């Protein structure tokens, strides 16, 4: 869904320029009080996105620097308390704080637990949504996204991430383009891995896809009576390969991707480069649900395009 180059996720320490805070003006209705953050999360966000935009040579970005809003205290911004299962409406306005690339943002915080898989979605018809997830230290941008949320405009942002520690995590709702304003919707869902076998552990015959939530394996058999398990080759967080007889002879490619903004489902796409019998198994480690896809012996493998494989949760 994202036609732009992959974003860079960078953590910056001492010496990072402090950015401005955020104004309470023109914000939408949100849960919880506003509190002032004691961690320089905007420094990390600003530098991470600045490096990403430098690598993209974003065309048309304006270069002037407007005056910073008055609601900035030592570079620390106001943060809106958020929670798992919540949805809120916000507004990016010229009264908000901005990054070095002249894009404006709002900041949120939520209590997270190690092992939780969080899904953060920012949707807007007014701005090209851009999301960041910051760890509890406030010094590490662990994830950022531009267009992975899909949606009718293809400009919605989505982050799916398994939390690595317990504490207060931060969400930054931002715009991709400089000096753009408008309303947006922000949602946060959390699920604890453990509904199945407690999470996916990759090995020589196992792929762990879609942030390690889905465990993928394959078994095969030949007309000559040879059988076994496919050998796994991870490619990306969502995609992997399997070979049966030789590492240079790939038999299956598979990806497990999020289609939640489109039809509230996780999608499974796979392609086989073989006519031997095999059974491909995809196991959801959170819900314990299993999906299998089989190819009969002696039949050229048909593509799998299952856009209703698993319910989003």
Q: Do 56 and 187 fall into the same domain?
A: yes
Q: Do 216 and 73 fall into the same domain?
A: no
- 171 domain-assigned: yes
3-class state of residue 252 by DSSP = strand
Does residue 152 register a pLDDT over 80?
A: no
Q: In angstroms, rounded to a whole number, what is the distance separating the alpha carbons of residues 104 and 178?
A: 8
- 60-90 pLDDT tens trace: 333 323 344 433 344 456 778 888 888 888 8
Q: Do 284 and 144 fall into the same domain?
A: no
Q: Which of 192, 227, 260 is the last residue of a domain?
A: 192
What's residue 51's pLDDT?
55
- 5 domain-assigned: no
Q: Do 184 and 213 fall into the same domain?
A: no
Q: Do 39 and 187 fall into the same domain?
A: yes
What's residue 77's pLDDT?
60
Q: Single out the residue of 86, 77, 78 nearest to residue 31, CA to CA.
A: 86
- 14 domain-assigned: no
- 232-284 pLDDT tens trace: 999 988 999 999 999 999 999 999 999 888 888 999 999 999 999 999 999 98
Number of domains in the chain: 2
Q: Do 183 and 265 fall into the same domain?
A: no
pLDDT bin (cut points 50, 70, 90) of residue 198 is very low
Does residue 57 register a pLDDT over 70?
A: no
Higher pLDDT among residues 114 and 296, named by residue: 296
Q: Do 237 and 176 fall into the same domain?
A: no
The answer to which of 2-6, 55-59, 119-123, 222-226 has the lowest mean pLDDT is 55-59
pLDDT bin (cut points 50, 70, 90) of residue 4 is very low
What's residue 146's pLDDT?
81
Q: What percent of the chain has pLDDT over 70?
A: 69
- 83-112 pLDDT tens trace: 888 888 888 877 767 777 777 788 888 888
CA atoms within 13 A on the CB side of 233: 12
- 9 domain-assigned: no
Q: In angstroms, rounded to a whole number, what is the distance separating the alpha carbons of residues 144 and 227?
A: 42
Structural domain containing residue 240: 207-311
Q: Do 57 and 130 fall into the same domain?
A: yes
Does residue 186 register a pLDDT over 70?
A: yes
Q: Do 167 and 38 fall into the same domain?
A: yes
Does residue 196 register a pLDDT over 60?
A: no
Which residue's structure tokens are 């939520």?
110
- 241 domain-assigned: yes
pTM for this predicted structure = 0.47
- 243 domain-assigned: yes
Q: Do 159 and 272 fall into the same domain?
A: no
Q: Which of 139, 164, 192 is the last residue of a domain?
A: 192
Question: Residues 153-160: what's their mean pLDDT?
Answer: 77
What's residue 38's pLDDT?
52
Does residue 228 register a pLDDT over 50?
A: yes
- 17 domain-assigned: no
Element (H, E) at 51: helix 41-56
What's residue 275's pLDDT?
95
Token pair recorded at residue 65: 């620097």
Q: Which of 164, 192, 220 is the last residue of a domain?
A: 192
pLDDT bin (cut points 50, 70, 90) of residue 293 is very high
Higher pLDDT among residues 166 and 240, named by residue: 240
Instruction: Give the count of beta carbons closer than 10 Å to the beta carbon of residue 289.
Output: 14
Q: Do 53 and 184 fall into the same domain?
A: yes
Q: In angstroms, rounded to a whole number, what is the distance separating the alpha carbons of residues 151 and 161?
A: 20
CATH number (domain holding residue 136): 2.60.120.380
Higher pLDDT among residues 44 and 241, named by residue: 241
What's residue 163's pLDDT?
82
Distances (CA, A) of 251 to 98, 164, 178, 258, 273: 49, 34, 45, 24, 5
Q: In angstroms, rounded to a whole number, what is the distance separating the alpha carbons of residues 194 and 198?
A: 4
Q: Do 297 and 221 fall into the same domain?
A: yes
- 184 domain-assigned: yes
């Amino acid at each position: 869904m994202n036609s732009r180059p992959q974003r860079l996720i960078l953590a910056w320490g001492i010496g990072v320029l402090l950015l401005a805070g955020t104004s309470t003006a023109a914000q939408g209705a949100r849960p919880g009080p506003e509190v002032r953050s004691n961690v320089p999360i905007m420094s990390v966000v600003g530098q991470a996105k600045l490096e990403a935009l430098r690598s993209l040579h974003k065309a048309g970005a304006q270069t002037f620097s407007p005056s910073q809003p008055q609601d900035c205290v030592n570079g620390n911004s106001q943060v809106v308390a958020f929670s798992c299962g919540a949805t809120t409406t916000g507004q990016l306005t010229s009264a908000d704080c901005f990054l070095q690339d002249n894009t404006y943002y709002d900041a949120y915080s939520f209590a997270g637990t190690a092992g939780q898989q969080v899904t953060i979605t920012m949707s807007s018809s007014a701005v090209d949504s851009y999301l960041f997830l910051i760890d509890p230290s406030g010094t590490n941008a662990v994830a950022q996204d531009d267009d992975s949320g899909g949606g009718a405009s293809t400009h919605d942002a989505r982050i799916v991430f398994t939390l690595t520690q317990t504490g207060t995590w931060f969400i930054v709702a931002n715009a991709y383009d400089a000096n753009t304003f408008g309303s947006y919707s922000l949602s946060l869902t959390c699920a604890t891995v453990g509904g199945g076998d407690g999470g996916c552990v990759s090995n020589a015959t196992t792929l762990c896809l879609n942030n390690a939530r889905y465990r993928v394996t394959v078994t095969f058999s030949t007309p000559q009576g040879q059988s076994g398990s496919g050998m796994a080759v991870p490619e990306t967080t969502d995609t992997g390969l399997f070979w049966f007889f030789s590492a240079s002879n790939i038999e299956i490619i598979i990806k497990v991707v999020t289609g939640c903004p489109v039809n509230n489902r996780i999608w499974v796409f796979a392609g086989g480069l073989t006519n031997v019998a095999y059974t491909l198994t995809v196991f959801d480690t959170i819900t314990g649900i299993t999906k299998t896809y089989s190819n009969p012996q002696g039949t050229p493998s048909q593509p799998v395009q299952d856009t209703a494989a698993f319910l989003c949760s």
